[in-house]
Protein backbone atom coordinates (compact mmCIF):
# COMPACT_ATOMS: atom_id res chain seq x y z
CA UNK A 1 0.00 0.00 0.00
CA UNK A 2 1.36 3.43 -0.93
CA UNK A 3 1.58 5.94 1.93
CA UNK A 4 -1.03 8.66 2.12
CA UNK A 5 -0.41 12.29 2.99
CA UNK A 6 -2.35 13.92 5.84
CA UNK A 7 -2.71 17.36 4.18
CA UNK A 8 -0.84 19.27 1.44
CA UNK A 9 1.36 21.21 1.12
CA UNK A 10 1.93 21.24 4.90
CA UNK A 11 -0.58 20.47 7.61
CA UNK A 12 -1.18 23.33 10.03
CA UNK A 13 -2.49 23.12 13.57
CA UNK A 14 -4.09 25.82 15.71
CA UNK A 15 -4.25 26.64 19.41
CA UNK A 16 -7.55 26.76 21.31
CA UNK A 17 -7.76 30.51 20.68
CA UNK A 18 -7.37 30.07 16.89
CA UNK A 19 -3.75 31.18 16.64
CA UNK A 20 -1.07 29.00 15.04
CA UNK A 21 -0.01 26.31 17.49
CA UNK A 22 3.54 27.01 18.63
CA UNK A 23 5.46 24.43 20.68
CA UNK A 24 2.45 22.09 20.61
CA UNK A 25 2.40 18.32 20.43
CA UNK A 26 0.87 16.18 17.67
CA UNK A 27 0.30 12.46 18.22
CA UNK A 28 -0.76 10.09 15.42
CA UNK A 29 -1.83 6.58 16.32
CA UNK A 30 -3.93 3.54 15.59
CA UNK A 31 -7.43 4.26 14.33
CA UNK A 32 -10.04 4.48 17.12
CA UNK A 33 -7.32 4.25 19.78
CA UNK A 34 -5.50 6.80 21.92
CA UNK A 35 -2.65 8.01 19.68
CA UNK A 36 -0.54 8.92 22.71
CA UNK A 37 -0.44 5.30 23.88
CA UNK A 38 -0.86 3.56 20.48
CA UNK A 39 1.36 5.46 18.01
CA UNK A 40 1.86 4.34 14.42
CA UNK A 41 4.93 4.82 12.26
CA UNK A 42 4.88 8.12 10.43
CA UNK A 43 7.29 9.62 7.94
CA UNK A 44 8.21 13.01 6.51
CA UNK A 45 8.75 11.70 2.97
CA UNK A 46 6.55 9.94 0.43
CA UNK A 47 8.90 6.94 0.15
CA UNK A 48 8.62 6.24 3.90
CA UNK A 49 12.37 6.42 4.46
CA UNK A 50 12.53 9.29 6.98
CA UNK A 51 10.76 8.28 10.19
CA UNK A 52 9.46 11.02 12.47
CA UNK A 53 9.57 10.68 16.25
CA UNK A 54 6.40 11.32 18.20
CA UNK A 55 5.11 13.52 19.54
CA UNK A 56 5.64 15.81 16.59
CA UNK A 57 6.38 19.34 17.76
CA UNK A 58 4.84 22.37 16.09
CA UNK A 59 6.35 25.70 15.08
CA UNK A 60 3.97 28.49 14.06
CA UNK A 61 1.32 25.82 13.55
CA UNK A 62 3.40 23.60 11.27
CA UNK A 63 4.72 20.16 12.25
CA UNK A 64 8.49 19.97 12.45
CA UNK A 65 11.01 17.26 13.21
CA UNK A 66 13.99 19.53 13.81
CA UNK A 67 12.32 22.55 15.41
CA UNK A 68 12.80 24.82 12.40
CA UNK A 69 11.62 23.29 9.11
CA UNK A 70 7.99 22.35 8.35
CA UNK A 71 7.45 18.74 7.33
CA UNK A 72 4.69 16.78 5.67
CA UNK A 73 3.25 13.80 7.49
CA UNK A 74 2.87 10.47 5.67
CA UNK A 75 1.27 7.32 7.01
CA UNK A 76 0.28 3.95 5.59
CA UNK A 77 -2.91 3.20 7.50
CA UNK A 78 -5.96 4.88 8.95
CA UNK A 79 -5.16 6.89 12.04
CA UNK A 80 -6.33 8.79 15.10
CA UNK A 81 -4.83 12.15 15.97
CA UNK A 82 -4.47 14.20 19.16
CA UNK A 83 -3.17 17.76 19.18
CA UNK A 84 -2.12 19.31 22.49
CA UNK A 85 -1.22 22.88 23.35
CA UNK A 86 2.22 23.61 24.74
CA UNK A 87 2.43 22.48 28.33
Whether the pLDDT of residue 80 is over 90: the answer is yes
- Determine how β-strand 74-75 pairs with β-strand 79-84: unpaired
What pTM does this model have? 0.83
pLDDT for res 54? 95
**Torsion angle, alpha carbons of 16, 87, 80, 77, to 10:** 120
pLDDT for res 56? 94
Write the pLDDT tens digit of every residue in 19-76.
999 999 999 999 999 999 999 999 999 999 999 999 999 999 999 988 889 999 998 8
Q: Quickly state the pLDDT bin for 5 (edges 50, 70, 90).
A: low
Whether the pLDDT of residue 8 is over 70: the answer is no
- Are 83 and 26 contacting, i.e. CB atoms less than 8 angstroms apart? yes
Amino acid sequence: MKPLQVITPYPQFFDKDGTALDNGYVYIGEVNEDPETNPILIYSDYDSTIAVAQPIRSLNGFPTSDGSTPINIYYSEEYSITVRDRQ
